[in-house]
Amino acid sequence: MNPMYFIPVVVIVAGIVFSVIINKRHKSAKAEINIDQERKLYSLYKTELLNQDFAFLQKWMKDKPIDAFSTASSPQSTANKVQQFIGDGVKNVALSTVGVRVQRVETDAFWVLSGKELHLLSADTEGDLEEHLIFNESRIANAQLQNNGVLKTSLGFYAKQAEEYLPKVHTITFDVDGKPLSLEIHDRLKYIPTTTEMWNQQKNLQTRAKYQVVGEHFLEELKSRYPHLAIVKQTV
């Protein structure tokens, strides 16, 4: 065989073998995860994640408590219009900037429920806090929640993840000076495993479970504090 043809064949075979091994490990590890049992450990997982993977959120929130948190994003349709929404109830922010940055695939954004306030915090490409929106009780009292189903992979964050791990997205729409401002809430925290973590499927799936449990509880807590948001509209 010509050596020039041999190399691509080796690469293809190696890729297939790698995929088979990963899938086998994934199925074995997945069988050991009981998500209903994991949900009972919410308080433990929330504390663990806030002290480890998401410790920066405590720094960003300063002296305010973090009652629940999850991942955020901005609908693509929002970016072109968001500069219109500058109102008294949204503090510490240039919305025209945040609307675009929340949407970028390289930028992380988070929801934090603190007392009766909702905080939207977005990072810059270095992982530092860039913008901080605060929606007060009156803003949330007039907000609406809509279930949009599974996140579209074209938005970026999760494009390389298996469909079963894509978050379900709810859109919360605020009335800002008579105009709607829509932002997205994910039902789990963003998790993109490293190559090393891909080989350790047990740790990989355990981390996913923690991220899902904590993210799910954000929506539950939000609806509990604002019962009108429990009436969720479905996308057509």
Question: What tokens appear for 176 in the block?
Answer: 């800002």
Domain count of the fold of the chain: 1
Amino acid, single-letter form, for residue 9: V
Can you give the residue range of the structural domain that contains 164? 32-234
DSSP code for 52: T
Is residue 113 in a domain?
Answer: yes
Is residue 5 in a domain?
Answer: no
Is residue 205 in a domain?
Answer: yes
Q: Which residues contact 158 (CB under 8 A, 6 or more apart)?
A: 151, 165, 166, 167, 190, 192
Is residue 42 in a domain?
Answer: yes
162-171 mean pLDDT: 81
140 within 8 A of 118, measured Cβ to Cβ = yes
Is residue 158 in a domain?
Answer: yes
143 within 8 A of 176, measured Cβ to Cβ = no
Is residue 72 in a domain?
Answer: yes
Is residue 213 in a domain?
Answer: yes
Closest of 232, 214, 235, 190 to residue 41, by C-alpha: 214
Is residue 15 in a domain?
Answer: no
The per-residue pLDDT for range 172-224, each reduced to its tens digit, is: 999 888 888 899 999 999 888 777 777 777 888 889 999 999 999 999 999 99
